């Protein structure tokens, strides 16, 4: 009879938490470790400085151009957003520069996510800890996405600070909302390249080879994606002259083919979010073109701009998910030897 109260006391006593329960979910433990190493690494500091210098030039030039045209800009709407979208010849706009250069952030944080651990011989030791195998790739991807968000947020705040100093114009709440939504979409866009670089690090054994593969695909799509779309559209529809309907049909075909470049899709989303006067990011048909020509110029609200950019945003999210799922499945099926 005395044994029963003792058994009850042991059952009612709180169970000692395991190492994993004390530290949190496995993927969160891995993410904390990666962020602690990544945020203090030379790679992150160099990338942050280079992106900051690259962003300061276009914004400084754009702010000067807007300030020189202060009389015309003073009565216009979304003047602060023009700081991000207007370039000064020959310097491109800030968003154009981000669309071209920001993928390097994702590639830099993902090209050696798995094969780097494998090359150092630390992957078997990491998997010997009381965590699931999928926690490794989930934690590394989450840490990379968090560091990308930190870098892009800092870059956007730098641009906004330069604009405030040069223009002396504070952004309105609507402009702040548009910038925040644009920041989220930009993180998704760079996360796509992070997922692709992680996929390369899973399927390619050497980190240098995976980096070259990811950078090669990025350069091919960024530099030759639009040119390839034009060549294919010209082959399928060779008539350069013709009726307006035929010319619009070729332009629509070229735009659809250029969607193989994620930068083109991201540019369409950016145009809709940071320019309230944009009512469509796709080339309209003849009937829609007539309607647009008769439409009174108007400024869209944020929710209306979100509806315009929603299909392209969904495509970016879908591409990111597909790349990461392929990397996830490939990593779970790989054999890890000590």
Residue 8, in any domain of the structure: no
Residue 279, in any domain of the structure: yes
Residue 15, in any domain of the structure: no
Torsion of CA 301, 165, 148, 85, to 10 degrees: 50
Number of folded domains in the chain?
1
* Model confidence at 16: pLDDT above 50: no
Torsion of CA 173, 178, 181, 186, to 10 degrees: -130
Residue 117, in any domain of the structure: yes
Structure confidence by residue, pLDDT tens digits, 259-318 = 678 888 898 899 889 888 887 776 554 444 444 454 555 778 889 989 988 989 999 999
Q: Cα–Cα distance between 159 and 187 in angstroms, integer?
A: 17
Structure confidence by residue, pLDDT tens digits, 245-272 = 556 666 666 666 666 788 888 988 998 8
pLDDT for position 238: 63
Residue 120, in any domain of the structure: yes
Query: DSSP characters for 147-210?
Result: HHHHHHHHHHHHHHHHHHHHH--PPPHHHHHHHHHHHHHHHHHHHHHHHHHHHHHHH-S-HHHH
Closest-CA residue to 220 (of 262, 168, 265):
262
Residue 19, in any domain of the structure: no
Residue 288, in any domain of the structure: yes
* Residues belonging to the chain: 338
- pTM across the whole model: 0.83
Residues 277 and 55 sit within 8 Å (Cβ to Cβ): no
Closest-CA residue to 263 (of 299, 230, 218):
218
Q: Hey, which of 48-62, 70-84, 229-243, 292-306 has the most confident mean pLDDT?
A: 48-62
Element (H, E) at 83: helix 79-85
Q: Cα–Cα distance between 285 and 253 in angstroms, integer?
A: 12
φ and ψ at 270, to 5 degrees? -60, -40
Residue 9, in any domain of the structure: no
Residues of the domain holding 69:
24-333
């Amino acid at each position: 009879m005395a044994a029963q109260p003792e058994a009850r006391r042991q059952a009612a006593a709180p169970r000692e938490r395991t190492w994993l329960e004390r530290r949190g979910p496995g993927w969160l433990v891995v993410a904390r470790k990666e962020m602690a190493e990544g945020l203090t690494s030379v790679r992150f500091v160099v990338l942050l400085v280079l992106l900051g210098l690259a962003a300061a030039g276009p914004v400084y030039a754009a702010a000067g151009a807007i300030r020189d045209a202060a009389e015309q800009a003073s009565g216009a709407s979304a003047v602060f957003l023009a700081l991000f979208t207007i370039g000064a010849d020959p310097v491109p706009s800030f968003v154009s520069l981000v669309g071209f250069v920001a993928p390097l952030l994702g590639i830099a944080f993902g090209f050696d996510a798995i094969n780097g651990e494998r090359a150092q011989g630390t992957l078997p030791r990491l998997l010997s800890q009381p965590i699931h195998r999928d926690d490794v790739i989930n934690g590394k991807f989450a840490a990379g996405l968090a560091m990308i968000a930190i870098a892009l947020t800092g870059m956007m705040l730098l641009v906004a600070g330069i604009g405030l100093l040069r223009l002396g114009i504070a952004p309105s709440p609507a402009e702040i909302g548009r910038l925040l939504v644009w920041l989220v979409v930009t993180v998704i866009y760079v996360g796509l390249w992070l997922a692709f670089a992680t996929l390369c690090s899973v399927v390619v054994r050497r980190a240098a080879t995976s980096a070259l593969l990811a950078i090669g695909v990025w350069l091919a799509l960024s530099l030759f994606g639009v040119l390839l779309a034009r060549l294919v559209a010209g082959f399928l529809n060779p008539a350069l002259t013709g009726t307006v309907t035929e010319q619009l049909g070729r332009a629509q075909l070229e735009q659809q083919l250029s969607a193989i470049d994620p930068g083109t899709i991201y540019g369409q989303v950016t145009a809709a979010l940071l320019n309230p006067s944009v009512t469509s990011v796709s080339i309209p048909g003849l009937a829609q073109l007539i309607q647009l020509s008769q439409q009174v110029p108007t400024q869209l609200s944020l929710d209306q701009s979100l509806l315009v950019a929603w299909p392209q945003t969904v495509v970016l999210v879908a591409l990111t998910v597909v790349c990461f799922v392929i990397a996830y499945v490939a990593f779970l099926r790989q054999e890890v030897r000590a």
